[in-house]
């Protein structure tokens, strides 16, 4: 118990821990913030320009490097960097069509039931404070979503997944004719860009709805919807079922998630890096 007038004890690093921190190489401030899950590197640059970050009490500048011994503050609050040795955690989520990744802003009317926490807000807090989605599907659609709290890893995955093959289940009203299928296979978008469509096949249906399985390299959910709609198809839902080596297994129900194993993450990164560099 501290006596009146006594100064509070200051917690100091153990000599070994301090020596290890001093020996750690300096890293760019943007990279440290991204690894801590606070922001992407681009967002961190915006914060630096806005004067929101300080290093040991001095305003941070673009290109600044820091070590574990430096005190980095964001809006006056100390930033506790994630240790580089800590394994990154990535989650595969099954998002329902229309379900938001984050809870929209705004107050809940008095007497109204509180909304269910959004998908990213249901992930374990110990895995990170701010989760980033990699190539997210449009909110109206759903399926496989990939998220992580490691900003540097999110950027690396974001670059890599555009070179991987993804598969989608597309629900349309009525059956498509051969001319429409040929238009979809051409991969032409409204902007004049091309999507590398590998296949588009009928996959059954019920009542007036028909399902089509589409495989394409580097396609986003928005592009897949546009491929069908520009051929006159009435699309009611697009669901991503595969992303590179990852699949949305039947055992993972809507609104559920699971953590990727280190083997799955290694395979995903290996495939993305190999295709992107090739």
Q: Which domains does the chain have, with CATH numbers?
A: 25-78 (3.10.290.10), 90-100+119-162+247-277 (3.30.70.580), 165-243 (3.30.2350.10)
Note the pLDDT of residue 120: 79
Is residue 20 within 8 A of residue 14, CB to CB? The reply is: no
- Dihedral-angle region of residue 107 (phi above 0 means left; psi in -120 to 50 means alpha; beta otherwise): beta
pLDDT along the chain (278 residues), means of 10: 49 50 72 74 87 91 87 85 61 92 61 65 74 90 92 84 92 95 94 93 91 95 95 95 93 92 87 59
Look up residue 261 and give its two tokens.
């194993």
Look up residue 106 and give its two tokens.
């705004």
Note the pLDDT of residue 21: 47
Note the pLDDT of residue 275: 53
Largest pairwise CA distance in the chain: 86
Question: If we measure between CA atoms, which residue out of 125, 133, 127 comes closest to residue 93?
Answer: 133
Beta strands in the chain (DSSP E): 27-28, 53-55, 58-59, 65-66, 72-74, 77-78, 90-95, 132-134, 142-148, 165-173, 196-206, 209-217, 235-243, 246-247, 257-259
CB burial of residue 9 (10 Å; 0-12, 13-18, 19+): exposed
* pTM, 2 dp: 0.68
Report the C-alpha gap between 36 and 33 in whole angstroms. Answer: 5
List phi, psi (to 5°) of 201: -130, 150
Note the pLDDT of residue 256: 93
Look up residue 275 and give its two tokens.
């295709």
Report the C-alpha gap between 89 and 147 in whole angstroms. Answer: 9
Note the pLDDT of residue 145: 94
């Amino acid at each position: 118990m501290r006596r009146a007038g006594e100064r509070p004890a200051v917690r100091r690093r153990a000599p070994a821990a301090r020596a290890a921190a001093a020996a750690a190489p300096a890293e760019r401030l943007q990279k440290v913030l991204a690894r801590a899950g606070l922001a992407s590197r681009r967002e961190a640059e915006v914060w630096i320009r806005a004067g929101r970050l300080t290093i040991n009490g001095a305003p941070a500048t673009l290109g600044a490097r820091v070590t574990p011994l430096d005190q980095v503050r964001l809006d006056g609050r100390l930033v506790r960097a994630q240790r580089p040795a800590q394994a990154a955690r990535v989650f595969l989520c099954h998002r329902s069509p229309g379900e938001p990744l984050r809870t929209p802003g705004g107050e809940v009317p008095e007497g109204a039931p509180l909304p269910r926490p959004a998908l990213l807000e249901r992930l374990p807090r110990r895995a990170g404070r701010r989760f980033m989605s990699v190539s997210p599907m449009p909110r109206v659609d759903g399926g496989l979503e990939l998220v992580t709290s490691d900003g540097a890893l999110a950027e690396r995955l974001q670059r890599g997944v555009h070179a991987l093959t993804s598969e989608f289940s597309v629900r349309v009203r009525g059956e498509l004719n051969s001319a429409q299928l040929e238009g979809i296979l051409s991969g032409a978008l409204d902007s004049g860009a091309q999507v590398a469509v590998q296949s588009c096949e009928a996959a059954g249906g019920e009542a007036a709805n028909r399902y089509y399985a589409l495989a394409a390299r580097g396609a986003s959910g928005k592009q897949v919807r546009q491929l069908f709609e520009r051929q006159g198809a009435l699309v009611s839902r697009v669901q991503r079922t595969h992303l590179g080596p990852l699949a949305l297994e039947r055992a993972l129900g809507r609104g559920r998630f699971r953590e990727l194993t280190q083997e799955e993450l290694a395979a995903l990164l290996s495939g993305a890096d190999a295709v992107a560099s090739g």
